[in-house]
Structure 1
Amino acid sequence: MADSARTTTPFDLGAYLDRIGWEGERRPDAATLRGVHLAHLRAIPFENLDALGGTAPSLDLADLMAKLVHGRRRGGYCYEHNTLFAAALEALGLRVTRLTARVVVGADRVEERPRTHMALLAEIPGDPRPYLADVGFGAIGSLLEPVPLTADTEFHDASRRHRLVHVPHRGPLEMWALEAHEARGGASEGGWVAQYAFTLEPFEQPDYEVINWHIATNPRSPFSRRPYVQRLTADGHLLLDGDRLTETRADGTVTERRPADETEARRMLAEDFGIDVPEGLTLLR
């Protein structure tokens, strides 16, 4: 959307909280931050269907309200989710710094990956600790609740375990990495796996417009080539990656199935993820 056409429509906090089913307090405190964060994840799925259709999704707040809040049968990916969530936190009275991160799952070095993920740093009035908040990371290692920006401390956020560590890198700013504890084979034992790395340098809306366009339209981007959809469930996590649906339960057990054809894939998104696929979009390629 061109700058001259961008809207100044105020963010509708009431409509947003109704969409995510939040009936708790509307205070700028840690309990509200955690509760709204988890409610958002449970209500609005992660999906890349706009990019799959060849379009960079709009990050204009009015467009995000129309798609993710009023639409109710769509989701979005990280820039959409965290842009919307940042507006909600600011409306609740928190201060928010918008960050970018390098997704490092499977990478040998931090420098191998570009900054393509949006995360948030939330500050609560009167609380000296900022919190890492992120409702838009499309992976099972994502945060369920915000965690304080404290190094080398394990946090239990809902049913998951995370920690923040410092990692060496070239540059004047301290580099942080979010690590998730992943169980193996359904057992409680497992290991720490780095999810993404970031500094505390603030980024602005024009920065995300550029990154968003690149991720959505680059033919080598995974988001422009196959469906990638996830949803938090009462008992775990659902992920559709291409033509493979993976269900991971809270105890670490994993089951997989594949849609037989395009019709079943669309039905799967409607029933399992609560998403209506746009007309004319082909999921299975």
Structure 2
Amino acid sequence: MWSSEHLDLDAYLTHLGYEGDRTPTLETLRALQRAHVLTVRWDTLDSFLYREVRLDVPSVQDKLVRRGRGGYCYEHVALFAAALEKLGFRFTAVSGRVQLGADSAHPRPATHAMLIVDLDGARWLSDVGFGHSPLEPIELVDGGRSEAGPWPYLLRWQDIAHGSPGWAVHQRGGETDDPDGWVVRQVFTETPQYPVDYAVGNHFVATHDRSPFVTRPYIQRQGIDRYDTLDALVWTTERPGRDRVTRTVGPHEVPELLDDVFGIRTDPAEARLLVTRLRELDSAGRCGRSSP
């Protein structure tokens, strides 16, 4: 179903630096998720520059593995699902709604792709495409947690939209009434999704005038103890236990910043186009400048 016959599994695993076991076990899944999240880049450049993002496995592998570019959740999950399928894992794809900054009375579309992996009678949420993603799968039980790395995550079964029950992924930070500091970042149900469903959601995210990925570029890179974002021209660095550092960069600085900080390579023509589009965005006052 996930076109694993078109995946060069050896090239993908080499890109991850993965040399471990290839049997479909929880240990393998944990190692693959960690390697994928820390290695495969995340960006929205194609939707911002071209309003086109392809999800077929050869295109995704060429972009994310061979060319060293980044992608967003649909691309990450297309690649990861093909790898899991080829390795013999059993899983179900699902879609979630990102809640951070959303108005609960007007929910966002379900355009975040994730996988639920079945292993030895247990089920695990594998979310490799958020950008700031858990470094390990989370068991799909009420109270399931991830403590891998400095950013913890929590799963709860609760009302997620207008009284309907479902799963909520919580993270710490932001405005919340929770005494332990948890805030909902995405919600989802277990309704199965198929490649054609992701194609529909991807079309909205990549092309619609109201998609945030069309209106400005957004780049993320997660490390073991550092998380960087570039939102148009605003570059933010977060480290556990330290104050957030935010600075504004010029359009001409962005291609070098992408290479040096985010590990994303753009060819000369693409770099020129990106600088031009960012200058247009900046002139229109839509770059959301922030003070350091």
In the alignment, which residue of structure 1 is the partner of 2:53?
57
- Report if the CA contact (8 A) 2:149-2:225 is conserved: no
Is residue 131 of structure 1 aligned with residue 133 of structure 2? no
Aligned match of 2:28: 32
Distance 2:16 2:105 in 1: 34
Partner of residue 121, structure 1: 116
- How far 1:111 sits from its partner (Å)? 5.7
1:110 shift after superposition: 7.3
Segments ≥4 residues shifted beyond 3 Å:
169-174
Letter in 2 for 1:42: L
Give the corresponding residue for 2:233.
243
Aligned residue among 253, 272, 288 for 1:264: 253
TM-score normalised by structure 2 residue count? 0.85
Q: What is the CA-CA distance between 1:171 and the residue it aligns to?
A: 9.1
Q: Secondary structure of 2:78's partner?
A: helix
CA contact (8 A) 2:137 2:146 kept: no
Q: Does 1:201 align with 2:191?
A: yes
1:130-166 residue CA offsets vs partner (Å, 9 max, x unmatched): 100011113x4x3221110010243313332111112
Measured in 1, the distance between the counterparts of 2:156 and 2:229 equals 27
SS in 1 for 2:6: coil
Gaps of 5+ in 1: 1-6
CA–CA distance in 1 between the matches of 2:48 and 2:278?
8
Q: Which residue of 1 aligns with 2:86?
A: 91
2:243 match: 253
Given that 2:136 and 2:146 are in contact with CA atoms closer than 8 Å, whether structure 1 keeps it comes out as: no
Task: Please tell me the root mean square deviation across aligned C-alpha atoms, in Å.
Answer: 2.3
SS at match of 2:159: coil
Name the CA distance, whole Å, in 2 between partners of 1:193 and 1:238.
20
Taking a change above 3 Å as real, the CA distance of residues 110 and 120 of structure 1, as seen in their structure-2 partners, is farther
Kept in 1: contact 2:4–2:86 (CA 8 A): no
Amino acid at match of 1:23: E
Number of residues of Structure 1 aligned to a counterpart in Structure 2: 269
What CA distance in whole angstroms lies between the structure 2 residues aligned with 1:272 and 1:190? Answer: 32
The amino acid of 2:188's aligned partner reads F
Tell me if structure 2 keeps the 8 A contact 1:175–1:199. yes
Distance 2:145 2:208 in 1: 37
Distance 1:117 1:8, change over 3 A: closer
Q: Percentage identity across aligned positions?
A: 37
1:78 maps to 2:69: no
Distance 1:71 1:145 in 2: 26
With 8-17 and 35-44 compared, the bigger mean Cα shift is at: 8-17
Alpha carbons of structure 1 residues 171 and 130: separation in structure 2 relative to 1, 3 Å: farther
| Superimposed CA distance per residue, residues 149-207 of structure 1 (whole angstroms, 9 cap, x where no aligned partner) | 010243313332111112225799841111112389xxxx9610101111111011111
